[in-house]
Amino acid sequence: MAPTVYVTHVSPPVRAVLITAKAIGLAVAEKEVNLFAGEHLKPEYLKLNPQHTVPTLVDDDGFTIWDSHAIITYLVSKYAKNDALYPKDLKKRAVVDQRLHFESGFVTPRLKAVVLPVYLEGKKTITQQDKERICEAYAFLETFLNGHQWVAGDFISVADYSLVSIISSLHYILVPIDAEKYPNLQAWLKRMEGRPEYEANVKGLEDYRQLLKSKMTNLPC
């Protein structure tokens, strides 16, 4: 029996989980959660995840966990053929963890600062301050990638999967990456897009683009 992932495909964290599952060859059963219809607030979903977020994973033995970072590290640790994507070596793993925390604590808030007011307050535009804050995240990643192909060093990891789901959303919807300012980041994104597991990001990203395009007036794409 395959693990079940509760999803909303426009969500970058959901897409990070689906990319990871595809990378390790793990078939998962997807159950769509309609956030706009309030399905995440129904008692049966709250019983699984009292924080009522997506994604939520229910493994084949009934084990349940949410938060994309917890899910992707769990899936790789349990189901991957080796530890390449999330190394057991403590120093390598520490760098991967730092990049994951950077994504959740630094990059994601910059996306939420733009999109949550769109949903909750009817915001229509992205401001110059929004753009500058997103570019600040780009600049850090540019530094992380200096001399390396992947965000945690010379090996692809779950940190790349987590970050590409949100960086692709920022780049293709809100603030295109300036290739002259951030050549390392631009090259990394192209490398990620060339990998077969990136396919799991494509439809949700386009759906997200169309959703925000329908609600905002000054998007670049």
Coil, strand, or helix at residue 56? strand
Which one-letter amino acid corresponds to residue 207? D
Residue matched to tokens 């390396």: 148
d(CA 53, CA 45): 9
Q: What is the largest CA-CA distance in the chain?
A: 50
Phi, psi for 35 (deg, rounded to 5): -65, -35
Q: What is the token pair recorded at 157?
A: 């990891």
Measure CA of the first residue to CA of the last residue in the chain; give whole Å. 41
| Residue 201 CB contacts under 8 Å (≥ 6 apart), including other chains | 15, 18, 19, 164, 165, 168
Query: What span, in angstroms and rounded, lies between the C-alpha atoms of 139 and 130?
Result: 14
Query: Catalytic residue at 11?
Result: yes
Among residues 11, 68, 165, 168, the one annotated as catalytic is 11
Task: Supply the residues annotated as catalytic.
Answer: 11
